[in-house]
Chains A and B, each alone.
Chain A
Amino acid sequence: MIASDATNTRAPAPAGERVLVVEDDYFIAQDLCRALRGLGATIVGPAPSIAAARTLLEQTVPDRVLLDINLDGEYAFELATQLQQRGMRLMFITGYDFAFIPPALQRVARLQKPVDANVLAQGLAC
């Protein structure tokens, strides 16, 4: 969280972060990436599947991961648990109700679809 630019102002997250986007809908993924770039983040991916996300995670360590929960029928809970154990910052972006998330993952930040770009900015800033 140390500002690296010369003005020495601290930019709010996710500025300067590498953010992995895991989302199986092309248009939603593009929309999230556009919003994140607008907030100063660098995109890793986007990944349309858990397998693609794992491949990217082997190659690079992002600062944050935005995870859709249902990827073409495959749940992201196992990946989320592993990333949480590694201390990575996570956020679910999902169409599911809160009740759908297992208790162990209910403290993960979460935004419900459809997500507005302003809401995304607020959600990531805290």
Chain B
Amino acid sequence: MQSDLPPQAATAPSAPTERHSFLEQRRQVRELLARIRAIVRHMAAAEQPTERFVALLEGRLGALARVQEILLRAPDVLPELMELVDAELLAQSIPHDRLTVGGPPVLLSARVAGSLALAIHELVINAIQFGALGGGAGQVAVSWTLDAARGEVQLNWHETGSDVGEPGKTGFGWELLQNTLAYELGARTELRLDRDGLLCVINFRPQGGARDRK
């Protein structure tokens, strides 16, 4: 058993051995299942399970599954922000003529991708239900810029051309954008109405996480 033991050093992982990556894979599956259970309980604590609850949960599980697929497609290949955004828009069959998506290539750590995929999913679903991707003729522009000096990405989700109400500052989506991203990534999120429609701005470190935050 001794030789199977993982890093004794308390800080960084040692060079990955086959045994180590096996233990790591087992951990990742348990962590993901724990995250899913916690999300279900979190949702159930806020509202009684109903048909709507099940649909929302299925949507969130779909987003978790899609980002896992992207993360597991090949070892050591980091996901790009573009493919995360594309995957979430494609999953809801958003017509191309209602979208503009663009920004420089940005590689994400697995952790950032895992949190961000859920956030983008919530923005897409919110736009379908209440915003620019609903029945009207609204548009969504998703754009991002990379501030190399600060190592930060600013992601802009901008809805136009529809009667969007003031964003509700309760509920799972709001909590995810504000609290989950801040907790897990140290991200700063702003959600407001400008003169065109809903604007969500997320500032985050694409390879970083909460450990960067003091």
Chain B binds chain A:
yes
Interface size for B (C-beta < 8 A) is 36
Q: A71-B210, A75-B13 are in contact. Are A25 and B184 (CB under 8 A)?
A: yes
Q: Decide if A28 touches B38 in the complex (CB within 8 Å).
A: yes
Q: Which of B188-214 contact A (CB under 8 A)?
A: 209-211, 213-214
Interface of B is mostly: helix
**Nearest CB of chain A from residue B50's CB, rounded to whole Å:** 20
Q: Decide if A28 touches B8 in the complex (CB within 8 Å).
A: no
B23-47 vs A, CB cutoff 8 Å, 1 = contact: the mask equals 1001111110111011101100100
B10 within 8 A of A: yes
A80-111 vs B, CB cutoff 8 Å, 1 = contact: the mask equals 01000000000000111101101100000000
Q: Decide if A95 touches B4 in the complex (CB within 8 Å).
A: no
Q: Decide if A102 touches B30 in the complex (CB within 8 Å).
A: no
Per a CB cutoff under 8 Å, which of A25, A34, A49 touches B31?
A25
- Residues of B within 8 Å of A74, CB to CB, are 11, 211
A103-126 vs B, CB cutoff 8 Å, 1 = contact: the mask equals 100000000111100000000000
Q: Decide if A95 touches B183 in the complex (CB within 8 Å).
A: no
Most buried by A among B27, B29, B34, B45: B34
- Residues of B within 8 Å of A97, CB to CB, are 23, 26-27
Q: Which of A66-81 contact B (CB under 8 A)?
A: 70-75, 77-79, 81
**Nearest CB of chain A from residue B42's CB, rounded to whole Å:** 5
B68 within 8 A of A: no
Q: Decide if A55 touches B214 in the complex (CB within 8 Å).
A: yes
- Residues of B within 8 Å of A71, CB to CB, are 210-211
Per a CB cutoff under 8 Å, which of A26, A34, A51 touches B184?
A26
Q: Decide if A52 touches B35 in the complex (CB within 8 Å).
A: no
B74 within 8 A of A: no
- Residues of A within 8 Å of B209, CB to CB, are 24, 49, 72-73
Q: Decide if A70 touches B10 in the complex (CB within 8 Å).
A: no
Q: Decide if B6 touches A100 in the complex (CB within 8 Å).
A: yes
**Nearest CB of chain B from residue A35's CB, rounded to whole Å:** 9
B179 within 8 A of A: yes
B148 within 8 A of A: no
Q: Decide if A26 touches B23 in the complex (CB within 8 Å).
A: no
- Residues of B within 8 Å of A28, CB to CB, are 34-35, 38
**Nearest CB of chain B from residue A72's CB, rounded to whole Å:** 4
Per a CB cutoff under 8 Å, which of A31, A48, A49 touches B38?
A31
- Residues of B within 8 Å of A99, CB to CB, are 1, 4-6, 23
**Nearest CB of chain B from residue A33's CB, rounded to whole Å:** 11
**Nearest CB of chain A from residue B174's CB, rounded to whole Å:** 13
**Nearest CB of chain A from residue B185's CB, rounded to whole Å:** 9
Measured in the bound complex, the distance between the Cα atoms of B48 and A28 in whole Å is 20
Q: Decide if A113 touches B31 in the complex (CB within 8 Å).
A: yes
- Residues of A within 8 Å of B6, CB to CB, are 99-100, 102
Measured in the bound complex, the distance between the Cα atoms of B7 and A103 in whole Å is 11
Measured in the bound complex, the distance between the Cα atoms of B33 and A95 in whole Å is 10
Measured in the bound complex, the distance between the Cα atoms of B180 and A72 in whole Å is 14
